[in-house]
A = this chain, B = another copy of it.
Amino acid sequence: METDVTQTSQQQRPKNFIECRRVAVPVIEVLSRIGSKWTVYVIMALVTGPMRFSELKRHIEGISQKMLTATLRDLEEDGFITRKVTPTIPPRVDYELTEMGQELKGPLASIGEWAARNSGRVAEARERYATAEAERRAQAW
């Protein structure tokens, strides 16, 4: 509990106006990396073990080769995965989660649990919003 992002007490709100940004920046950097659609698929695929490029492409249905390459590059650059080339013919490239990559499981699972619990509520909220929106529109006439 050394880095509590979520203070609620009132009197330190002014402090938060400065603190929040400092705390938020790394969170946002992480989120903007793992928050991309394909990144999550790649990580989840590799959680079960190393995989080749073509395996990943087949596994992650719908991804273009360009995006897979880019996603893997980014993940490698940040140290989430390793890239091992076996210079045979044809060549073979295996991707594997690093230990740091494995540690992402925790946060991802945390989000997954939240999503599993609340996806229904989100859907309800959207319906309510759409209905209210439609009524508001009808009112205008």
Contacts and interface: CB of A to CB of B under 8 A. Distances in A.
B48 A125 contact: no
- How many chain A residues sit at the interface, stated as a range, is 35 or more
Nearest to A121: B100
Contact of A47 (B8, B30, B115): B8
Given A28-B37, A40-B27, A112-B26, A10 B126 contact: no
Interface string A14-37: 001100110110111111101111
A110 B112 contact: no
A135 interface: no
A105 B115 CA distance: 13
Contacts of A48: 7-8, 10, 13, 16
Given A32-B35, A78-B126, A6 B115 contact: no
B100 A27 contact: no
A103 B17 CA distance: 21
Please provide the 10 A-B residue pairs with the shortest distance between their CB atoms, ordered closest to farther: A35-B35, A79-B125, A6-B105, A26-B115, A110-B110, A5-B112, A3-B116, A30-B115, A77-B129, A31-B35
A107 B103 contact: no
Nearest to A33: B122
Contacts of A104: 114
